[in-house]
Amino acid sequence: MLGKEELKALNDYFEEKEPLEVLKWGVEKFYPKIVLACSLQAEDIVILDMLSRVVEKPKVFIIDTGRLHQESYDLIEEITKKYNADVRLYFPDYKDVEDMVNKYGINLFYKSVEFRKMCCEIRKVRPLKRALEGMEAWITGLRREQNFTRGGIKKIELDEVNGGIIKLNPLADWTWEQVWDYIKKNNVPYNKLYDKGYKSIGCVPCTRPVKPWEHPRAGRWWWEQNSDKECGLHYRKEVK
């Protein structure tokens, strides 16, 4: 495990560096115990494309909540054909899902923030824990400009919520424009929901397209007022 001083020195060093440099460092230090979390967003596929340049067979996990869009499934097929990656799908425990929907309803997430978080916990967070078992590091496509809970993310973090493993956010300082420039220049596959006005990709019932003037994450859990608009995959404990 990295100490706080070492972590700070690494972040000072990598803050001005390109995402590829962060990934090279992560792969050298942790492969094969490093995995990319792919939630089928544009950023995730950009990272997969970069990772493919630094390691022969990147490890990737995708959580299939059971409520994904067809376009997301199509993208899974596309990336598994294009990249020589070890892509694993993780599903929620069927018993947890059965208990939840039989007790609270198939569309319980619209009833309250608590129910919505329960659904995210069962369909996303618990599978995440299994996907991270045995790993020493994971990689995400989080960017600081995505929303208020992500403004302070570092490129290299200690993930206290997930057993103190390392979390790499190589695109932390990238803008939306940089992500799409990379996609166009490198012919990277992307989720076709973006062509339909979506700016952030999640589950079908909890995601909708946004207007050009709206915040990119305004289409996530749009009916909730004053919630943190997070599913729990990226909760952070501040390391002081």
123 binds ligand SF4 (CB under 6 A): yes
Q: Which long-range contacts (CB under 8 A, 24 or more apart) does 178-182 make?
A: 179/42, 179/43, 179/46, 179/143, 180/42, 182/46, 182/49
List 116, 143, 155, 217, residue binding ligand SF4 (CB under 6 A):
116
The separation between CA 89 and the C-alpha centre of its own chain, rounded to angstroms, equals 14
List 131, 203, 219, 236, residue binding ligand SF4 (CB under 6 A):
203
Q: Are 162 and 135 in contact (CB under 8 A)?
A: no
CB of 108 to ligand SF4, least distance (A): 8
List 38, 119, 165, 188, residue binding ligand SF4 (CB under 6 A):
119
67 binds ligand SF4 (CB under 6 A): yes
CB atoms within 10 A of CB 3: 9
131 binds ligand SF4 (CB under 6 A): no
Active-site residue among 38, 203, 206, 231? 231
Alpha carbons 171 and 17: distance in angstroms, whole number: 10
Backbone torsion region of residue 105, taken as left when φ is above 0, otherwise alpha when ψ lies between -120 and 50, otherwise beta: left
* DSSP for residue 146: S
Nearer to ligand SF4, 49 or 140 (CB): 140
Nearer to ligand SF4, 62 or 172 (CB): 62
200 binds ligand SF4 (CB under 6 A): no
Nearer to ligand SF4, 58 or 202 (CB): 202
206 binds ligand SF4 (CB under 6 A): yes
Based on the residue annotation, tell me whether 206 is a catalytic residue of this protein.
Answer: no
202 binds ligand SF4 (CB under 6 A): yes
* DSSP for residue 111: T
Nearer to ligand SF4, 64 or 78 (CB): 64
Alpha carbons 100 and 122: distance in angstroms, whole number: 9
Buried b (16+ CB within 10 A) or exposed e, 114-130: ebbbbbbbbbbbbbbee
Nearer to ligand SF4, 32 or 205 (CB): 205
| Active site positions, annotated | 231
Please give the residue ranges that form the binding site for ligand SF4 (CB under 6 A). 65, 67, 109, 116, 119-120, 123-124, 202-203, 205-206, 231
